[in-house]
Structure 1
Amino acid sequence: MPNTVPDGIYLHVVAAVIRDEVGNILLAQRPANKHQGGKWEFPGGKLEAGETPAQALNRELEEELGVTVLQAKPLIKVRHVYPERAVLLDVWEVTAFSGEPHGREGQPVAWFEPEQLPALEFPPANYPIITAARLPTHCLITPELAEDHAAFLQQLEQALRSGIRLVQFRAKTLSAASYLALAQDVITLSHSFTAKVILNSPPMMLENADGLHLTSRQLWQMPAFHRQNGQWLSASCHNEQELRRAAEVGVDFALLSPVLPTLSHPKAGGMGWDAFAEAVEAVNFPVYALGGMTRCHAEMARRSGGQGIAAIRGLWLEETQ
C-alpha cells in the first residue's frame, strides 16, 4: 500500500534477508507474548537514536543471532499500518556473515528454502519481503520472435545458462494459439533451470506458468485475474499514477520505465534514477528498472530502491551473441 501517513509516525525497523551459501533464508519466530507473536519473521529490530540502518542491522543481528554482517545491500522498504502501530521495514539482503546464527534471546530460528516461505505464517507487513526475497536481480523480457522458434528456444537456453532466473515471455505478434503453444515450451525449458516464467500477452494464465504480466493499459481495462496459489501478477508502469493503480490491482511486482534512454527511443529520454527512486519509495512491492538497462545498472537499481533491472536487449543479446 502507498505511504499514507507522515514518515515521522512510522516506527523505523531494520530487517534482514539472510542467505546461506546455497540460498536458504534464515527466519526467526516471534515470542508468543509479543506483537504478532508466534509468527515467523525476518530478523531485525528498531533503530536507536543516531543510528544508520546499516549500523542498526549490525547491532540487531549481533544481539539476536550472534552474527556479524560482512556483506549486505538494501532490498526493499515496506510501510504498513497496523491498528496499533505504523512500521517502516527497511529490509537488507545479507549474503556474507561470520558466526553461527542462533537465537540468543531464546527465539526459535530455522533455515528455509525460498520457495517454502509462502506457506509460512508471517506478520502482514512481511509479505512483500517474501516476494522480494524470491525474485532475482535480473528479469529477462524476450524479444519478438522470428519465424524460427527452435532458434528462439536455443537462444533462451543460452540466457538461462548464463544465470537468468526470471523470464517474461513476450511475443505480441503471435496468434493466441501460437503464443500459448510456444509458452509451454518456454515454461518447460525455463523450469529445467529452476527459472520462473511470467506470461505477457495475451492476458491469459496457464496452470504451469509462474505468473501473468499486465501492460499499463491492461491495468486500467482488465478485470481481476484468478491466480493459482503461488502465481505472481506483475505490471508495466511508467509513472507514479500507474504504480498506484498497480497497488490497487494487487500486483506482486512491477516494471517501471523508461529509466534511461533506449536504442529504440533515443530521443524520448528517461526519468533518471532520482525520479525512479522517488516513485519506488511510494509503493510496497518490488520494482524493476526498465529502459536502457544492462547488467552494469543492477547495482544502481538496488541503490535506488529497486529489485534490480529488466531488459530485452541488455540481457538477451548480450548473452547470446
Structure 2
Amino acid sequence: MQGIAGVVVFRGSSVLLVNEPDYFTGEPRWTFPSGHIEDGEDPATAAARELAEESGCVVDPAQLEIIAISDVEQDGVTMNRSWNYTGTTTDAALRPRTQDGETVTEARWFDPAEAVELLGRSTYPPKTKPVARFLTSGECNLHWTCDLIGFSSLTPTFRWEPPTPTLPE
C-alpha cells in the first residue's frame, strides 16, 4: 500500500497552494503540498518535508494537526492511504525547490474560498475533497474511504460514503 502525506498551511487567513502538473493529465493545477512517505518516515514528518521541498516553507511536524485520513480502495483492497495535516507559519517567503525532480513551478498564498475553487479542478478528489471540506467547514479528524470504480479518459472515477470521525494514527 502506498502512503502519501500533505499539509495545508496558513499564514494569517491565507492558505498556501503550489502549482504542479496533475498526475493524470499533466496539466498544471494548484494543489496543497504533498508527496510520498519515505521508508522509516512517519506521516507528519513526510508532510513537513514535502512542504519544505515544494514551497520552501518550514513547519515543525510536532505542530501539525490531522485534517483527514483518506483510503482509496478497489474491490475491497486498500490501494493508497493519505494523511492530510494543517499548520501555521509566519514566514511569508516562498522558495519552491526546482532541483531533484521537483515539478512544482510556483507557490502562492490564496484566500481559502479561492483555494477551494482551485482544489475543485483536481482529477484526484480523494486528495483534494477532504481538504476542501476542511477549508469550508473547519472539520478535522475525518476518515474518508473512496472506492475506485473506473477510469474515464485517463482520469479515475470514485464513489465514497460520508466521512466518519477518526483518531490520528
Q: Is the 8 A contact 2:5 2:35 kept in 1?
A: yes
Distance in structure 1 (CA, Å) of the matches to 2:161 and 2:36: 21
SS in 1 for 2:53: helix
Moved more, 93-102 or 124-133: 93-102
Superposition CA RMSD, Å: 3.3
Q: CA deviation at 1:129?
A: 1.5
Instruction: Give the structure with the larger strand fraction.
Output: 2
Q: Is the 8 A contact 1:78 1:88 kept in 2?
A: yes
SS in 2 for 1:68: coil
Distance in structure 2 (CA, Å) of the matches to 1:107 and 1:17: 18
- 5+ residue gaps, structure 1, are 1-8, 139-242, 248-281, 288-300, 306-321
For CA contacts below 8 A with separation 6 or more, give which structure has more relative contact order: 2
Q: CA deviation at 1:101?
A: 2.2
Q: CA deviation at 1:110?
A: 2.1
SS in 1 for 2:89: strand
Please name the residue that 2:67 is paired with: 75
CA shift in 2, pair 1:107/1:130, >3 Å: same
Distance in structure 1 (CA, Å) of the matches to 2:136 and 2:47: 21
Task: Specify which of 5, 10, 15 is matched with residue 6 of structure 2.
Answer: 15
- Is 1:117 aligned with 2:115? yes
Structure number with larger C-alpha Rg: 1
CA shift in 2, pair 1:285/1:42, >3 Å: farther
- Is 1:56 aligned with 2:46? yes
Amino acid at match of 1:87: N
CA shift in 2, pair 1:101/1:48, >3 Å: same
Please name the residue that 2:134 is paired with: 132
Moved >6 Å (runs of 4+): none
Q: Is the 8 A contact 1:12 1:89 kept in 2?
A: yes
1:154-186 Cα deviation digits (max 9, x unpaired): xxxxxxxxxxxxxxxxxxxxxxxxxxxxxxxxx
Normalising by structure 1, we get a TM-score of: 0.37
- Is 1:41 aligned with 2:39? no
Q: Is the 8 A contact 1:78 1:284 kept in 2?
A: no
CA shift in 2, pair 1:18/1:50, >3 Å: same
- 5+ residue gaps, structure 2, are 99-103, 147-159
Normalising by structure 2, we get a TM-score of: 0.65
Q: Is the 8 A contact 1:25 1:111 kept in 2?
A: yes
CA shift in 2, pair 1:72/1:87, >3 Å: same
